[in-house]
Copies of this chain bind each other. A is one copy, B any other.
């Protein structure tokens, strides 16, 4: 078994290395402009080797998405372990998400790629798709957990199903952060040009509204 497991470890570290290279190339040039030849060169392997480990260019991007999702989930789980009320946790998660997106825009784009591809049924079944969904589900679980805590400690109203509230909170946060992110990007929507307030104000406003909407 020892030999097999070393082989397995080799395979995984090789794949991690390929994902490293892809992450660099794709964050630099964008997914469409990045070519498999470039990724192979950066990873110092032949192009064919990429296809030994990943079924397609998209699959590599999904692997990047999984990586980012795991990092984000780690941060989310840390919020849950802090000594906060449920409502404070929810607020903290909102900020954590925003901060992560701001600091890791390339992971954000990878998340979007996954969700987009999923909602357009472009993805075939594969272990990577499953993993992406698993990661998404985990993130969702943290939000639901925080909501349940808030319902128990009396900081959040318990007239909603926590899962339902989780989906709403998740979707709304994603949307607001997306808008916020667009405002950050160099070439952003003109719609947002004459909006003078800062990102922080925007998110604070959102969290305030949601907060007072779900507060007991």
Interface residues of A in 175-193 (CB under 8 A from B): 175-182, 185-192
Q: A136-B191, A137-B191, A175-B175 are in contact. Are A116 and B119 (CB under 8 A)?
A: no
Partner of A195, one of B136, B167, B179: B167
Q: In whole angstroms, how far apart are the Cα atoms of A206 and B188 in the complex?
A: 27
Q: A191-B133, A212-B213 are in contact. Are A201 and B164 (CB under 8 A)?
A: yes
Q: A164-B202, A202-B167 are in contact. Are A189 and B122 (CB under 8 A)?
A: no
Asked if A174 is at the interface (CB within 8 A of a chain B CB), the reply is yes
Partner of A213, one of B173, B174, B187, B210: B210
* 0/1 interface trace, chain A 188-216, chain B, CB 8 Å (1 if under): 11111011010001100110111111100
> Which B residue sits closest to A130, measured CB to CB?
B190
Partner of A121, one of B134, B161, B187: B187
Name the residue among A30, A179, A181 with the largest chain B CB count within 10 angstroms. A179
Partner of A185, one of B119, B175, B179, B187: B119
Footprint of B on A, CB under 8 Å? 30, 32, 109, 112, 115-116, 118-123, 130, 133-134, 136-137, 140, 160-161, 163-165, 167-168, 170-182, 185-192, 194-195, 197, 201-202, 205-206, 208-214
Closest 8 CB pairs of A and B: A175-B175, A213-B213, A171-B179, A209-B213, A172-B172, A171-B176, A171-B175, A133-B190
